[in-house]
Amino acid sequence: MLKRRPVVLLIFLSLLAVLISVSLVSAATEVDTSELRGAVTLEGVRAHQAALQAIADSNGGTRVATSPGYEESGEYVEGLLSGAGYQVDRQNFDFPFFQENSPPTLEQVSPNSVVYPPNDVAGFFTMEYSAGGDVTALIQAVDVTIPPAATPSSTSGCEASDFTGFTAGRIALIQRGTCNFSVKVENAAAAGAAGVIIFNEGQAGRTEGFNGTLGGPVANIPSVGASFAIGEELYNLSQQGDVEVHIIVDAISETRSTFNVIATTPGGRDDRVVVVGAHLDSVAEGPGINDNGSGTATILEIALQMADLGIEPRNKVVFAFWGAEEAGLHGSAYYVSQLSASQIKKIAVNLNFDMVGSPNYARFVYDGDGSATPLAGPNGSKNIEQVFLEYFGEQNLETEPTAFDGRSDYGPFIAVGIPAGGLFTGAEEINPDNGIAYDPCYHQACDTFANNNDDAIDEMSDAAAHAVLTFAETTSAVNGTDKGKGKGKWANAMEYRGSHLLK
């Protein structure tokens, strides 16, 4: 009998291997998404975009969070989803609101008279969440390095000790660098600065005036982000004598209230939740029909068609329409902040669809494994990317990777370790194929129903429907690891909060 044990064990292990193999094959069985993809049509998505355009037209041309246009957008989505049988909840939250009322001013009063161009990469921009103010004062450089180091490494203004000897009432001249802009401004205010000029650090790719964010109201002083050329000029002059500068920021920076719309399938496993998100708000300047009426319309149509087809997903699906994304991802951040540790672990994936109809589009897929961009997503993000890549491959459609840089609502999810992925068709960046911006109307009044590419909407909505149903029906965990592992890693690595630079 002793001699037979290895044989018995071998037979047992062989049977076990077969069972495991069968289980894995079953779990990986491809979901047939053709019926849903056929139901999610270009016409259906465009009809929702037309409705959002009509709402904006009736409300001053905008659907910005807290506006009547945003309220009506929410009511439109809520009504359709409630009628389709979803559990629909309005999640209210407060957020830091910022609105610039007129172009800012930055001018050198002495030793020369120079007016720098506002809202221009050759000049300067108001920092998002800067306080309003009208200040004329001498500048004082804070730990500035001219010429700059070969690689981005400046710690100018990052420590309170940088302001030792700073004269209260002066305007702090600070170099962009390693810490968040908010830290620099807070330290300057604590040292008694009357205003702040943060100029770009000076390396290749870091020379232009920039649109940074403080993340919220942090100090009651005006703050701007200027080009390296302006900062270098002011610094060099200050080494020779007094330099007086005039700053005007005309802005509102305060706390306001808005909401997310959360629609949940009645059934499905609640320990493997699929959160499908798109932001519902536009910028103040326009109706936002590509950004992000395209993503809103796409996931709304997917949700409605899943209900109409009677699809009862194996896993619970949450369709989330985020508020105040344009102000800094506040809706999605609030949603994630309200999740318990247990609820975070139960979210299998976050799928994000922000701008999927850009006129001069490319098919961007978020680079979950970090193979082509600096930052990989949390464990499982590679699997999400692969679902999209395999789908587009089957359709003989080329794709390009896009980075997890913090510019959209996946940010708060990956910050707590939730796997994420999604699609994007491009914003203000230049398409190298033709030298034209992917979306020439990005964040402008011309982002209307006409600001669209039908092929982009058709292709991306099908890919989105495929991914949503694939993860809604999966029988296995997406990442298979503890989502808490590495918590905070991604948040610290991301450069943006929404469309604004953090540091």
Catalytic residue among 325, 326, 385, 473: 325
pLDDT beyond 50 at 484:
no
Which of 339, 299, 251 minimizes the C-alpha distance to 464? Answer: 299
Q: Which two tokens stand for residue 182?
A: 């908010």
CATH for 475: 3.40.630.10
Q: Does the structure show a pLDDT above 80 at 33? A: yes
Q: Is residue 22 part of a domain?
A: no
**142 and 185 assigned to the same domain:** yes
- Domain residues for the domain of 211 are 99-251
Count CB neighbours of 205 within 10 A. 8
Residue 209 in any domain: the answer is: yes
From 251, 286, 313, give the residue that closes a domain: 251
Over the Cα atoms of the chain, what is R_g? 25
* Residues 496 and 406 sit within 8 Å (Cβ to Cβ): yes
Q: Are residues 143 and 165 in the same domain?
A: yes
120 and 209 fall within a common domain: yes
**Residue-wise pLDDT tens digits, 136-177:** 999 999 999 999 999 999 999 999 999 999 999 999 999 999
Q: 116 CB contacts (<8 Å, ≥6 apart)?
A: 106, 107, 108, 123, 124, 226, 230
Is residue 247 domain-shared with residue 270, that is, in the same domain?
A: no
β-bridge pairing 430-431 and 436-437: antiparallel
Number of domains in the chain: 2
* Active site (annotated) includes residue 325: yes
Who's near 70: CB < 8 A, 6+ residues apart? Answer: 63, 64, 258, 280, 281, 282, 323
Do 247 and 271 fall within a single domain?
A: no
pLDDT tens digits, 41-89: 999 999 999 999 999 999 999 999 999 999 999 999 999 999 999 999 9
pLDDT tier for residue 407 given thresholds of 50, 70 and 90? confident
**What HEC string does 170-235 produce?**
CEEEEECCCCCHHHHHHHHHHCCCCEEEEECCCCCCCCCCCCEECCCCCCCCCEEEECHHHHHHHH
Q: Convert the pLDDT of each residue in 319-365 to its tens digit.
A: 999 999 998 899 999 999 999 999 999 999 999 999 999 999 999 99
- Percent above pLDDT 90 for the chain: 85
Domain assignment present for 257: no
- Helix 42-57 vs helix 68-83: crossing angle, to nearest 10: 140
* 14 belongs to a structural domain: no
pTM above 0.75, yes or no: yes
- The residue type of 18 is V
Indicate the pLDDT class of residue 475, thresholds 50, 70 and 90: confident
**Amino acid in position 250:** D
Output the pLDDT for position 180.
Answer: 93
Kindly report the number of other CB atoms within 10 A of residue 134's CB atom: 12
Is 24 part of a structural domain of the chain? no
Contact 201, 178 (CB under 8 A): no
pLDDT, tens digit (0-9, with 9 covering 90-100), for 185-237: 999 999 999 999 999 999 999 999 998 989 889 999 999 999 999 999 999 99
The per-residue pLDDT for 12 is 37
Q: Which two tokens mark 242?
A: 């007094």
In DSSP terms, 350 is beta-bridged to 275, 420
For residues 401 and 443, membership in a common domain is answered with: yes
- What's the whole-number mean pLDDT along residues 433-437? 97
Tens digits of residue pLDDT in 7-18: 333 333 333 333
CATH code at 134? 3.50.30.30
